[in-house]
Amino acid sequence: MPGSPDERPPPPTVDFGYQQVAAADKGSRVRAVFDSVAGRYDLMNDLMSFGVHRLWKRYLLSQTGLRASGLALDVAGGTGDIAIGLAGQVGAGGRVVLSDINGQMLGVGRDRVQDTGIAGRVACVQASAESLPFRDGTFDCVTIAFGLRNVTDKPAALRSMFRVLKVGGQLLILEFSKPVLPGLAALYDAYSFAVLPALGRLVASDEGSYRYLAESIRMFPDQPALGGMMREAGFGGCRHHNLSGGIVALHRGWRY
């Protein structure tokens, strides 16, 4: 019979690391990963990158173009390091929103913001990158660092970030990418799949989550592909800058 269960199309699937899972299930799986790692997320970042993640984030902050009294949004901002940097740029007259879909991560970020004494200029909002709960044209700058690869519907997230930007506003995406130096990819793969899960097991008692994180990096669009996705979402002037030989790339796009 038409419309019988056997004739209905299968539910859409997306990548969860190297697995294909129902799109409706990815959010809960990613949430479980970050619930598990939230308490030691910053320590693990220092160990996994030998502290270099701080330099990558510092470079992102150097490119925001924010001025005093500006408005900025950090999406998937987790433990708050980017949001705190943005707050320093906009000053006492500006405002920053730290958003994350994961309550555990956002709680760590909220505590860190309060410890810095700038809580009055940083609002913490639990929200999905795919449907940001802010009015059109609100922010001068939107950032997302190492979060886009965990989003289920990346084009929807890019459109959502485009919508909340002011005309003339900039999106900055800092994300793991594809190494461009000869020979680096093989070394990086060996490190990612041998060392990262072992560190996760020893330091965070969670090998599986860090294996997922390594796999999610490999499944993420490369530099040209992400640039194309940004243009499809409406961004203009899109370009990227490779860091650490392309292990990480900073993508920039504007709402014209």
What CATH number does the domain containing 115 carry? 3.40.50.150
Instruction: Give the pLDDT confidence of 191-247 residue by residue, as tens digits.
Output: 989 888 888 888 878 888 889 988 999 999 999 999 999 999 999 999 999 999 999
State the pairing for strand pair 139-145/71-75: parallel
Instruction: Tell me what pLDDT residue 199 has.
Output: 84
Instruction: Tell me what pLDDT residue 195 has.
Output: 86
Q: Which residues pair with 31 in a beta bridge?
A: none
In angstroms, the CA 204 to CA 208 distance is 10
3-state DSSP call for residue 151?
coil
Crossing angle (nearest 10°) for helices 103-116 and 81-90: 40
Compute and round to an integer the Cα radius of gyration of the chain.
18
In angstroms, the CA 32 to CA 21 distance is 15
In a domain, 3, yes or no: no
Alpha-helical runs (H) found in 50-118:
52-62, 81-90, 103-116
- Structural domain boundaries, residue 160: 13-254
Query: Quick one: which H or E segment has residue 130?
Result: none
Q: Are 175 and 146 in contact (CB under 8 A)?
A: yes
In a domain, 111, yes or no: yes
Instruction: Tell me what pLDDT residue 31 has.
Output: 85
What's at 152, amino acid-wise?
T
In angstroms, the CA 251 to CA 154 distance is 14
- The whole-model pTM stands at 0.92
In a domain, 103, yes or no: yes
Instruction: Give the pLDDT confidence of 21-69 residue by residue, as tens digits.
Output: 999 998 899 888 888 888 888 888 898 899 999 999 999 999 999 999 9
Look at the chain and report how many structural domains it folds into. Answer: 1
Instruction: Tell me what pLDDT residue 153 has.
Output: 96
151 token code pair: 């989003």
Beta strands in 69-161 (DSSP E): 71-75, 95-100, 122-126, 139-145
In angstroms, the CA 80 to CA 54 distance is 13
b/e burial code for range 21-33 (CB count within 10 A of at least 16 → b): beeeebbebbbeb
In a domain, 7, yes or no: no
Instruction: Give the pLDDT confidence of 71-100 residue by residue, as tens digits.
Output: 999 999 999 999 999 999 999 999 999 999
Instruction: Tell me what pLDDT residue 4 has.
Output: 55
In angstroms, the CA 85 to CA 60 distance is 10
In a domain, 143, yes or no: yes
The whole-number average pLDDT for the span 11-24 is: 89
In a domain, 205, yes or no: yes
In a domain, 1, yes or no: no
In angstroms, the CA 140 to CA 67 distance is 9
